[in-house]
Amino acid sequence: MVGAQCDNFKPMDDLLSRTRAAVWHPCTQMKQLEAAPPLAIARGEGPWLVDADGKRYLDAISSWWVNLFGHCNPRINAAITDQLGKIEHVMLAGATHEPVVQLSERLARLTGLGHAFYASDGASATEIALKMSAHYWRNAGRPEKNGFVSLKNAYHGETVGALSVTDVPLFKATYAPLLRHTKQVPTPDARLAEPGESAEARALRCADALEAYLAEQATGIAAFILEPLVQGAAGMAMYHPIYLGRARELCDRYEVHLIADEIAVGFGRTGTMFACEQALTHGIRPDFICLSKGLTGGYLPLSAVLTTDSVYDAFYDEDTAHGFLHSHSYTGNPLACRAALAVLDIFEHDEIIANNRIKAVEYTRVMEEVSAHKRVRNFRHLGMIWAFDVTDAGPGFANRFHRAALAHGVFIRPIGSTVYVMPPYVVDAGAMRQLADALLACLDEPGV
Ligand SMILES: *Cc1c(COP(=O)(O)O)cnc(C)c1O
């Protein structure tokens, strides 16, 4: 503690220089950290992040879309603490435990799919769904069905397999030589509708393009993977639910699995527990669903892939190699499962989906002034997500807006020229008002 004896010693500056020296931050050009230091967060409280100096920031994007019920939620804390006194972790090959069984049973009831397979993050869930799908076709005697289709501008994670079906050039181009070739079909993103074309017509036209591709290539295709209703990393691109129903029909007709990547949109983000429920007219059931992010309320890394009985049955055999021999060390971690069970309890007990519906109407009203701002176009909203594009956003806009918002006590990270808000569900009207005022101030700030 030599530094502490010095009068002008600032613990926060010290932490920032140590993080620059020791930590390689994600999705960050480290050279830019000097000019734009990260927030040094000391603690959290509901939707608020508190830095080392006690300054509070509204976590307007739920810490990369994971947090649902606030930071340091007493109920989730209690569940994890209780589990800590029992068993922190045991491998899930050759052992099982109550939290993982209970979570699997409850996720099956919620999704209509079963046989939950676990990993630790979203990208691994994508990998698992892709591998399971291709392996299913192999077990079914059709090994040539091993290709994948995804949407233009899709995001499914950044490990090598997941990156193959991701379509974000900034993340993908550099690693192109490492990746498997996959097909991207047109995105139903409503912003890309032709003048005079409705979101629904756009979605139907894109479904026709999917059909044209599958009609020709389905014999070599294992699965079509998509983010239902909202393509998050594409800039909260929203599309008409009719696309989901058409995708389901086409996948059935051409014998291609449908993988719903609900990693970002699951657990109530779009207004229903899962986005697939909004497909016209009764929702659709995918062949695989990928879950993560909100699954533990933003507490611990956990992901799950659930699938149909018919997929599961194709692996059930005397032959070991017919089984799904995939594993991660922390598969089904009991602490993470307990956090997830606490999250599901909160959903049920507090009737979160119904209450969010009321909140969403109120918060959309709060955002009205933002939507009417002269720099704002394509204002869009679904469930607990609000987004808009900034007409005159030049290069570096996202970073400038981020810094400007910090000065107003809001932690927000635009994607390109898209500003989006995706707060923890515990946010109240007062905080939303502060958020809307901060957005307006940033939009009006010269040079942002
Ligand atoms: C975040 C995300 C992933 C990847 O999850 P990680 O935990 O970051 O690996 C995959 N798909 C979608 C739709 C996501 O938003």
pLDDT value, residue 280: 85
Domain 75-349 has CATH 3.40.640.10: yes
Q: What's the helix, strand, coil split of the chain in %, to 5?
A: 45, 15, 40
Q: Which atom number of ligand 1 is nearest to the Cα of residue 162?
A: 10
Q: Starting from the edge strand earliest in sequence, which strands make up the sheet with 183-185, in order? A: 114-119, 303-307, 288-291, 257-261, 221-226, 147-151, 183-185
Run of H or E including 223: strand 221-226
Give the pLDDT mean for 81-96. 98
User: Does 64 have pLDDT greater than 50?
Assistant: yes
Question: 3: pLDDT confidence band, cut at 50, 70 and 90?
Answer: very low
Question: Which residue among 27, 63, 293 is best mutated to probe the pocket of ligand 1, counting the most ligand atoms within 8 A of its Cβ?
Answer: 293
DSSP code of residue 175:
G
Residues 186-245: tens digit of each pLDDT: 999 999 999 999 999 999 999 999 999 999 999 999 999 999 999 999 999 999 999 999
Amino acid at 80: I
Atom of ligand 1 nearest to the CA of 265: 13
Q: H-type helices in 59-174, by residue range?
A: 62-65, 74-84, 98-111, 122-139, 160-165, 169-172
Residue 6 has pLDDT above 60, yes or no: no
Pocket-testing residue among 27, 120, 155, 291, ligand 1, by greatest number of atoms within 8 A of Cβ: 155
Q: Average pLDDT for residues 280-300, to the nearest whole number? A: 96
How buried is residue 348: exposed, middle or buried, by Cβ count under 10 Å (0-12/13-18/19+)? exposed
For residue 301, the ligand 1 atom closest to its alpha carbon is: 7
CATH number among 3.90.1150.10, 3.30.70.580, 3.50.50.60, 3.40.50.10210, domain 10-72+351-444: 3.90.1150.10
Asked whether the whole model's pTM tops 0.95, one would answer yes
Q: Name residue, tokens 């959309």.
A: 364
CATH 3.40.640.10 residue ranges of the chain are: 75-349
Cα 163 from Cα 165, distance rounded (Å): 5
CB neighbour class for 268 (10 Å; exposed up to 12, middle 13-18, buried from 19): buried
If you measure from the C-alpha of residue 123 to the centroid of ligand 1, how many angstroms do you get, rounded to a whole number? 6
The predicted pLDDT at position 2 comes to 44
Computed over every residue of the chain, the mean pLDDT equals 96
Banded model confidence at residue 11, pLDDT cuts 50, 70, 90: confident
Å from CA of 65 to ligand 1 middle: 9
- What pLDDT sits at residue 1? 42
- What is residue 90's DSSP assignment? -
Band (7; pLDDT cuts 50, 70, 90): low
The predicted pLDDT at position 361 comes to: 98
Atom of ligand 1 nearest to the CA of 303: 7
pLDDT of residue 269: 98
Q: Please state the atom number of ligand 1 nearest to the C-alpha of residue 264.
A: 15
Q: In the chain, how long is the greatest CA-to-CA distance?
A: 74
3-state class (DSSP) for residue 284: coil
Pull the structure tokens for residue 262. Answer: 């609900």
CA atoms 84, 86, 87, 92: torsion sign: negative
Residue 9: predicted pLDDT: 66
Each residue's pLDDT tens digit, 129-151: 999 999 999 999 999 999 999 99
Q: Is 260 in the pocket of ligand 1 (CB under 6 A)?
A: no
Determine the residue of 156, 163, 288, 415 to mutate for testing ligand 1's pocket, defined as the one with the most ligand atoms within 8 A of the Cβ atom.
Answer: 156
Phi, psi of 260 (to 5 degrees): -95, 115
- C-alpha to C-alpha distance for 155 and 151, rounded to whole angstroms: 9
Tokens of 190: 């409503």
Query: Of the candidates 350, 294, 332, 299, which has an alpha carbon nearest to the alpha carbon of residue 77?
Result: 299
Mean per-residue pLDDT for 154-167? 98
